[in-house]
Chains A and B, each alone.
Chain A
Amino acid sequence: AQSVTQLDSQVPVFEEAPVELRCNYSSSVSVYLFWYVQYPNQGLQLLLKYLSGSTLVKGINGFEAEFNKSQTSFHLRKPSVHISDTAEYFCAVIRGNQGGKLIFGQGTELSVKP
């Protein structure tokens, strides 16, 4: 079985501060890793993905994430957040042989304050 754990349910941060949203996964086979963002009353939007290659992945809106196989982590980072980054963030994995069957974490609510 595989699971995704997002270690923080809520992360409050001031505007222009750096932020890290933590994600750990468990899987005995190779996985593909994703971060999605969900703004209020909207669908999920892909921020970035790790499929293979470089472990540092850059996504949209200035976000990046680093795949750490030994620690089974895929933490999301941004050096300087904006008010508009306030949203729910979901980490997700796919096992290598299960196509689009995403397994999501519980989500982290990022709240950026002025």
Chain B
Amino acid sequence: GAGVSQSPRYKVAKRGQDVALRCDPISGHVSLFWYQQALGQGPEFLTYFQNEAQLDKSGLPSDRFFAERPEGSVSTLKIQRTQQEDSAVYLCASSQTQGASGANVLTFGAGSRLTVL
């Protein structure tokens, strides 16, 4: 597609519910990233995929967070037993390049805003 598409754009969950956030990267983009942006803060790295391989998940805040990209294209970020502190905008980004290149310029989606009540 023309850009990175994320769905749903808005999600309200009750505390304890599970949620799934979807990211459709730009077609052919090898690298995919998830970021969490709390209100009034800069985005913080969660996890990184190169094709279907999850190469870095050091930013996932707890074992309630899980991400997958089974066919190397669409990715899903799943949050189990949501807590109020999970409320944030979850941003997905993709990139053409692969590997540890500093020139790995990311294209971001509009984000999924999660509110946990």
User: Which residues of A line the B interface, CB within 8 A?
Assistant: 4, 30-32, 34, 36, 41-46, 49, 51, 90, 92, 94-107
Alpha-carbon distance between A21 and B42 when the two chains are bound, in angstroms? 15
Alpha-carbon distance between A42 and B37 when the two chains are bound, in angstroms? 12
Beta-carbon contact of A46 and B105 below 8 Å? yes
Which of the segments B70-78, B80-88, B93-101 contacts the partner chain? B93-101
Alpha-carbon distance between A41 and B43 when the two chains are bound, in angstroms? 14
Beta-carbon contact of B45 and A101 below 8 Å? yes
CB nearest neighbor in B for A92: B42
CB contacts (< 8 Å) of A99 on chain B: these are 31, 48, 99-102, 104
User: Which residues of B line the A interface, CB within 8 A?
Assistant: 4, 31, 33, 35, 40-45, 48, 56, 91, 93, 95, 99-111
**Which among B31, B40, B42 is the interface contact of A100 at CB below 8 angstroms?**
B31
Interface centre among B4, B42, B48, B104 (most CB of A within 10 A): B42
CB nearest neighbor in A for B100: A99
Query: How many A-B residue contacts, CB cutoff 8 Å?
Result: 72
CB contacts (< 8 Å) of A98 on chain B: these are 100
CB contacts (< 8 Å) of B44 on chain A: these are 104
Looking at the assembled complex, report how far the CB atom of B57 sits from the nearest CB atom of chain A, in whole angstroms: 12
Beta-carbon contact of B42 and A106 below 8 Å? yes
CB nearest neighbor in B for A94: B102
Alpha-carbon distance between A101 and B4 when the two chains are bound, in angstroms? 17
Beta-carbon contact of A107 and B41 below 8 Å? yes
Alpha-carbon distance between A104 and B111 when the two chains are bound, in angstroms? 16
